[in-house]
Amino acid sequence: MSRRPTTNLTIFRWLNNLGILALDVLLLRLVFPLLAVGFAGFLSSKGFGLFNLIELSGWLAFVATLLLLDLAIYLQHICFHKFPTLWRLHRVHHTDIEFDVSTGIRFHPFEMLLSMLIKLTVIALLGPPVLAVLVFEVMLNATSLFNHGNIRIPKAIDRWLRYVLVTPDMHRVHHSILQRETNSNFGFNLPVWDRLFGTYVAQPESGHENMTIGLEEHRSKGAGRLDKMLIQPFKS
């Protein structure tokens, strides 16, 4: 299936995703980032968390926060694939049969809430600098939209860019219908964790133009409707 969807299908998918888009913009793009930053500020004022208990230079705490929060997102992503109950929530994101920016906003509300609880727990343990949490939230939101983008980056640039940033071609492999490819390339911001822990796959087996996106068991007509996506985690 080509990486470029037909116009009619693209319009239908965008209209169908309006409900989740509204919730996503409200929660993931506004409320949750502000909550994370505010929580970090509260911890700092109370002296809670690892970085508030040990002497660490400001720049080192800043860099460590970005790396550790990104690692937490990577590990969380793996857990959402490995554990059946969590996969029921996360598979809503993978039922999209095309790959573009709208895929990056297709998350079940329960997954968004659970992800936020996990992130707040990590922040509570670290007690990170407020500025670092703010920068991380901006990066996470920007890269989530970027690496789900249906764009073509020249191969020579992509080959080097994916050493420092998860590119659309790299993350598209993760949305392959082949399970061994779906269980790869879990990173959102930094590609280092996939390379370090052996979950990196450079290219899809069928090539980007011919690969099939989505899940085999969720390709029926109407499977991408908003109501069906919301109740999908509660069905076998």
Q: Does the residue 1 lie in any domain? A: no
| Cα angle, residue 194 at apex, residues 191 and 195 outer, rounded to 5° | 85
**Does the residue 210 lie in any domain?**
yes
The predicted model gives 171-180 an average pLDDT of 95
Q: What is the mean pLDDT of residues 108-132?
A: 93
Domain around 171: 7-234
Residue 36 has pLDDT above 90, yes or no: no
Please report whether residue 20 resides in a domain. Answer: yes
pLDDT band at 124 (very low <50, low <70, confident <90, very high): very high
DSSP letter (8 states) at residue 28: I
108 belongs to a structural domain: yes
Q: Looking at 91-105, 113-127, 151-165, which range is the least confident one?
A: 91-105
The number of domains in the chain is 1
**Rounded Cα gap, residues 111 and 230, in angstroms:** 11
Does residue 159 lie within any of the structural domains?
yes
Residues of 18-42 as b/e, b for ≥16 C-beta within 10 angstroms?
eebbeebeebbbeebbebbbebbee
Query: What is the per-residue pLDDT for 3?
Result: 53
> Is residue 198, in this structure, part of any structural domain at all?
yes
Rounded Cα–Cα distance for residues 166 and 74 (Å): 12
Four-point Cα dihedral 33, 37, 43, 47, nearest 10? 150
Q: Does residue 2 belong to any structural domain of this protein?
A: no
Residue (of 19, 7, 8, 3) closest to 225 by Cα position: 19
Whether 142 shows a pLDDT value over 80: the answer reads yes
Higher pLDDT, 84 or 236: 84
Query: Which pLDDT score, from 0 to 100, does residue 28 have?
Result: 56
Rg, C-alpha atoms of the chain: 18
| pLDDT tens for each residue of 186-206 | 998 999 999 999 999 999 999
State yes or no: pLDDT of 1 exceeds 50. no
Write down the pLDDT at residue 10.
54
Q: What is the mean pLDDT of residues 202-231?
A: 81
Residue 21 and residue 17: Cα distance in Å, rounded? 6
**Contact, 110 vs 6, CB < 8 A?**
no
Per-residue pLDDT, 2: 42
Decide if 97 is inside a domain: yes
The answer to whether residues 42 and 127 touch, using CB atoms and an 8 Å cutoff, is: no
Amino acid at 45: S
